[in-house]
Amino acid sequence: VSFLAGKNNLPVVITLFDDLDKTGMLNSIFNILPINYIENLGLLDRDCTVYGGVCADKEDFNILANYGAKMIVSPYESMNFGRGSPNIYAMLNCGLDVSLASPIKLDIEKEIEMTSVLGRGNLSDSQILPIDEVLEIAISKEVRPDFDKQKLEELEKETTKILEKIKEKI
Protein backbone atom coordinates (compact mmCIF):
# COMPACT_ATOMS: atom_id res chain seq x y z
CA VAL A 1 0.00 0.00 0.00
CA SER A 2 2.80 2.38 0.91
CA PHE A 3 4.58 1.65 -2.39
CA LEU A 4 1.41 2.16 -4.47
CA ALA A 5 0.53 5.36 -2.64
CA GLY A 6 4.03 6.74 -3.14
CA LYS A 7 4.25 5.67 -6.77
CA ASN A 8 0.85 7.13 -7.66
CA ASN A 9 0.95 10.10 -5.26
CA LEU A 10 -2.19 8.88 -3.50
CA PRO A 11 -3.41 9.71 -0.02
CA VAL A 12 -3.55 6.91 2.53
CA VAL A 13 -6.37 6.62 5.07
CA ILE A 14 -5.77 4.22 7.95
CA THR A 15 -8.30 3.13 10.53
CA LEU A 16 -6.27 3.08 13.73
CA PHE A 17 -6.81 3.62 17.44
CA ASP A 18 -10.56 3.40 16.88
CA ASP A 19 -11.18 0.42 19.13
CA LEU A 20 -9.28 -0.73 22.22
CA ASP A 21 -9.55 -4.45 21.37
CA LYS A 22 -8.33 -4.01 17.79
CA THR A 23 -5.53 -1.69 18.93
CA GLY A 24 -4.39 -4.23 21.54
CA MET A 25 -4.63 -7.08 19.03
CA LEU A 26 -2.41 -5.22 16.57
CA ASN A 27 0.09 -4.62 19.35
CA SER A 28 0.15 -8.28 20.40
CA ILE A 29 0.23 -9.78 16.88
CA PHE A 30 3.19 -7.71 15.70
CA ASN A 31 4.76 -7.05 19.13
CA ILE A 32 5.08 -3.36 18.33
CA LEU A 33 3.06 -0.27 19.14
CA PRO A 34 0.51 0.46 16.40
CA ILE A 35 1.99 3.89 15.67
CA ASN A 36 5.44 2.34 15.21
CA TYR A 37 3.98 -0.40 13.02
CA ILE A 38 2.48 2.03 10.51
CA GLU A 39 5.62 4.15 10.73
CA ASN A 40 7.80 1.12 9.88
CA LEU A 41 5.56 0.32 6.91
CA GLY A 42 6.27 3.78 5.53
CA LEU A 43 2.64 4.84 5.65
CA LEU A 44 3.38 7.98 7.63
CA ASP A 45 5.76 9.12 4.89
CA ARG A 46 2.75 9.43 2.58
CA ASP A 47 -0.16 11.87 2.60
CA CYS A 48 -1.52 10.01 5.61
CA THR A 49 -4.80 10.40 7.46
CA VAL A 50 -5.76 8.31 10.48
CA TYR A 51 -9.42 7.62 11.19
CA GLY A 52 -10.11 6.84 14.85
CA GLY A 53 -7.93 8.27 17.57
CA VAL A 54 -9.97 7.00 20.53
CA CYS A 55 -7.19 4.81 21.97
CA ALA A 56 -4.26 7.03 21.03
CA ASP A 57 -2.29 9.12 23.48
CA LYS A 58 -0.30 12.32 23.33
CA GLU A 59 2.86 10.49 22.21
CA ASP A 60 0.96 8.96 19.28
CA PHE A 61 -0.46 12.38 18.38
CA ASN A 62 3.01 13.93 18.47
CA ILE A 63 4.41 11.28 16.11
CA LEU A 64 1.51 11.78 13.70
CA ALA A 65 1.91 15.55 13.85
CA ASN A 66 5.67 15.32 13.22
CA TYR A 67 4.93 13.47 9.98
CA GLY A 68 2.22 15.96 9.00
CA ALA A 69 -0.45 13.27 9.23
CA LYS A 70 -4.08 14.22 9.75
CA MET A 71 -6.82 12.81 11.99
CA ILE A 72 -10.45 12.14 11.21
CA VAL A 73 -12.67 11.58 14.24
CA SER A 74 -16.31 10.72 14.79
CA PRO A 75 -16.94 11.30 18.50
CA TYR A 76 -20.67 10.61 18.42
CA GLU A 77 -20.26 7.36 16.54
CA SER A 78 -17.29 6.31 18.68
CA MET A 79 -19.34 6.84 21.82
CA ASN A 80 -22.43 5.24 20.28
CA PHE A 81 -20.45 2.05 19.54
CA GLY A 82 -19.02 2.01 23.07
CA ARG A 83 -15.47 2.74 21.97
CA GLY A 84 -14.88 5.88 24.02
CA SER A 85 -14.24 9.43 22.97
CA PRO A 86 -11.23 10.81 21.12
CA ASN A 87 -9.29 13.52 22.92
CA ILE A 88 -9.62 16.14 20.20
CA TYR A 89 -8.24 18.89 22.39
CA ALA A 90 -4.99 16.93 22.87
CA MET A 91 -4.83 16.26 19.12
CA LEU A 92 -5.14 19.96 18.36
CA ASN A 93 -2.58 20.86 21.04
CA CYS A 94 -0.10 18.46 19.42
CA GLY A 95 -0.52 20.29 16.11
CA LEU A 96 -2.61 17.68 14.32
CA ASP A 97 -4.97 18.71 11.55
CA VAL A 98 -8.28 17.26 12.80
CA SER A 99 -11.44 16.73 10.76
CA LEU A 100 -14.87 15.50 11.79
CA ALA A 101 -16.80 12.79 9.99
CA SER A 102 -20.16 11.13 10.39
CA PRO A 103 -19.84 7.96 8.31
CA ILE A 104 -22.80 5.94 9.58
CA LYS A 105 -25.47 8.25 10.98
CA LEU A 106 -24.58 11.01 8.50
CA ASP A 107 -25.32 13.65 11.12
CA ILE A 108 -22.41 16.08 11.22
CA GLU A 109 -24.38 18.45 13.47
CA LYS A 110 -24.51 15.75 16.14
CA GLU A 111 -20.76 15.15 15.71
CA ILE A 112 -20.05 18.87 16.13
CA GLU A 113 -22.17 19.10 19.27
CA MET A 114 -20.69 15.90 20.74
CA THR A 115 -17.14 17.11 20.03
CA SER A 116 -17.76 20.35 21.89
CA VAL A 117 -19.58 18.73 24.82
CA LEU A 118 -17.08 15.87 25.25
CA GLY A 119 -14.10 18.20 25.07
CA ARG A 120 -15.47 20.44 27.80
CA GLY A 121 -16.63 17.51 29.93
CA ASN A 122 -13.44 15.45 29.65
CA LEU A 123 -11.25 18.36 30.64
CA SER A 124 -13.70 19.99 33.08
CA ASP A 125 -13.35 23.32 31.29
CA SER A 126 -16.44 25.07 29.93
CA GLN A 127 -14.31 27.41 27.81
CA ILE A 128 -12.58 24.93 25.47
CA LEU A 129 -13.84 23.70 22.11
CA PRO A 130 -16.81 26.04 21.71
CA ILE A 131 -19.21 25.18 18.88
CA ASP A 132 -17.77 27.83 16.53
CA GLU A 133 -14.25 26.40 16.97
CA VAL A 134 -15.51 22.85 16.36
CA LEU A 135 -17.36 24.08 13.27
CA GLU A 136 -13.99 25.13 11.83
CA ILE A 137 -12.77 21.57 12.32
CA ALA A 138 -15.86 20.16 10.60
CA ILE A 139 -15.50 22.21 7.42
CA SER A 140 -13.13 20.46 5.02
CA LYS A 141 -10.52 22.63 3.38
CA GLU A 142 -9.21 19.90 1.09
CA VAL A 143 -10.26 19.06 -2.41
CA ARG A 144 -11.15 15.41 -2.88
CA PRO A 145 -8.97 13.62 -5.42
CA ASP A 146 -10.54 12.66 -8.73
CA PHE A 147 -9.86 9.16 -10.07
CA ASP A 148 -10.79 7.93 -13.47
CA LYS A 149 -12.49 4.53 -13.54
CA GLN A 150 -9.56 2.68 -15.15
CA LYS A 151 -7.06 4.01 -12.60
CA LEU A 152 -9.39 3.09 -9.75
CA GLU A 153 -9.84 -0.46 -11.08
CA GLU A 154 -6.06 -0.90 -11.38
CA LEU A 155 -5.56 0.28 -7.80
CA GLU A 156 -8.31 -2.02 -6.53
CA LYS A 157 -6.60 -5.02 -8.19
CA GLU A 158 -3.27 -4.11 -6.63
CA THR A 159 -4.74 -3.57 -3.16
CA THR A 160 -6.60 -6.90 -3.42
CA LYS A 161 -3.27 -8.64 -4.14
CA ILE A 162 -1.71 -6.94 -1.12
CA LEU A 163 -4.63 -7.94 1.10
CA GLU A 164 -4.32 -11.56 -0.03
CA LYS A 165 -0.61 -11.56 0.82
CA ILE A 166 -1.35 -10.14 4.27
CA LYS A 167 -4.00 -12.80 4.92
CA GLU A 168 -1.50 -15.52 3.95
CA LYS A 169 0.93 -14.29 6.61
CA ILE A 170 -1.59 -14.04 9.42
CB of 16 closer than 8 Å to CB of 34 = yes
Q: Which distant-in-sequence residues (6+ apart) come within 8 Å of 138 by Cβ?
A: 99, 100, 108, 111, 112
Of 26-35, 80-89, 159-168, give the lowest mean pLDDT range: 159-168
Give 26-53 pLDDT, tens digit per residue. 888 889 999 999 999 899 988 999 999 8
> pLDDT at position 50, please?
93
Give 116-142 pLDDT, tens digit per residue. 888 888 878 888 888 778 877 776 666
pTM attached to this predicted model:
0.72
Sign of torsion over alpha carbons 67, 142, 10, 102 = positive
pLDDT reading at 146 higher than 70: no
